[in-house]
C-alpha cells in the first residue's frame, strides 16, 4: 500500500532563517505531488505541484520554492523565512488512475 | 473558475444527533470530481469519498451518507447518530484535470463540527 511521509512534524524557526521540508511517497511510482499551506483556521492554499522529476509549477508567487530531485521526493524550501510563512504545510499525492489526493501528516511551522 | 462554498463555518450537535454538512460548487466543466475530507485535530486530511460528475447515485458508508445533486450543484454530507470522534473540520473539494495531467483541486473553507457528549 502507499504511504506518504513528511518531516519534520513541527518546526520553530527565526525570521530570516532557511527552510527545508521534505515529503516522500512509498508504494507508487511517478505520482503527481503537491504542496499546500493551511493558515490557522483557514482553508488550503496550493503552493506547488509536480508531475515528474524536475518539473515544478508554482500556483502562487511567494517566498518559497520547491524541488523534486527524485521520483517520490518533494522538497519545499526557503532561503529566508518571513513571519507570514507560518502555517501548516501539507504534502499530497495522486496516482494516475484515480483523482483523490492523499495527504501526509503535515508540518507545523512557526516563524518567530 | 471553480469555486466550492461551505456556508456553515461551525456546527455543534449533541452526540447521537444527525448532522448535514452543506457543499455547493461551481464549475464550467462537464467532467469533474467531488470529494470530502476529514481533518481531525491531529491535522492530517483523511480522504472520505470521491464522486464523479456522471454518477449521481447517493452513497452510504456506515453512518456516513452523501447526496450529490447536479441540478443544484450540491454535494452534501450527512453523519447519522453523530459521535464525539466525528468532531473535526470537514472539507469539500472539486477537481478538474489540467493540461499536463495534474489535478487542480479547489477546496472549500471547511466546516468545523463539534459533537458534544
Residues B109, A106: C-beta atoms closer than 8 Å? no
Alpha carbon B46 to its chain centroid, in Å, reads 11
pLDDT in the model for residue B101: 67
Instruction: Tell me, yes or no, if A101 comes closer than 8 A to chain B by beta carbon.
Output: yes
pLDDT in tens, A14-67: 999 999 999 999 998 889 999 999 987 778 999 999 989 999 988 886 789 999
CB-CB neighbors (< 8 A) of A51 in chain B: 100-102
Residues B100, A101: C-beta atoms closer than 8 Å? no
Residues A43, B109: C-beta atoms closer than 8 Å? yes
Quote the mean pLDDT of chain B.
Answer: 92
Three-state SS string over A59-106 comes to: CCCCCCEEEEEECCEEEEEECCCCHHHCEEEEEEEECCCCCCCEECCC
CB-CB neighbors (< 8 A) of B5 in chain A: none
pLDDT in tens, B29-68: 888 999 999 999 989 999 999 998 988 888 888 999 999 9
Alpha carbon B69 to its chain centroid, in Å, reads 13
B104 half-sphere exposure, CB direction, 13 A CA radius = 15
Amino acid at each position: 500500500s502507499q504511504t506518504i511521509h513528511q518531516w519534520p512534524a513541527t518546526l520553530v524557526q527565526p525570521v530570516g532563517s532557511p527552510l527545508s521540508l521534505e515529503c516522500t511517497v512509498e508504494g507508487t511510482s511517478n505520482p503527481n505531488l503537491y504542496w499546500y499551506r493551511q493558515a490557522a483556521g483557514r482553508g488550503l492554499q496550493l503552493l506547488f505541484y509536480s508531475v515528474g522529476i524536475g518539473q515544478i509549477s508554482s500556483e502562487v508567487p511567494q517566498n518559497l520554492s520547491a524541488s523534486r530531485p527524485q521520483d517520490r521526493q518533494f522538497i519545499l524550501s526557503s532561503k529566508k523565512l518571513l513571519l507570514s510563512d507560518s502555517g501548516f504545510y501539507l504534502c499530497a499525492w495522486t496516482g494516475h488512475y484515480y483523482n483523490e489526493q492523499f495527504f501526509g501528516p503535515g508540518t507545523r511551522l512557526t516563524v518567530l | 473558475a471553480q469555486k466550492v462554498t461551505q456556508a456553515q463555518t461551525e456546527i455543534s450537535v449533541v452526540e447521537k444527533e444527525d448532522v448535514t454538512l452543506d457543499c455547493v460548487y461551481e464549475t464550467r466543466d462537464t467532467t469533474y470530481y467531488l470529494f470530502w475530507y476529514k481533518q481531525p485535530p491531529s491535522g492530517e486530511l483523511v480522504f472520505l469519498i470521491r464522486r464523479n460528475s456522471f454518477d449521481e447515485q447517493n452513497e452510504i458508508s456506515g453512518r456516513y451518507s452523501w447526496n450529490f445533486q447536479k441540478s443544484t450543484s450540491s454535494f452534501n454530507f450527512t453523519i447519522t447518530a453523530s459521535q464525539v470522534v466525528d468532531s473535526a473540520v470537514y472539507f469539500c473539494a472539486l477537481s478538474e484535470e489540467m493540461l499536463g495531467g495534474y489535478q487542480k483541486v479547489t477546496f472549500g473553507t471547511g466546516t468545523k463540527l463539534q459533537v458534544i457528549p
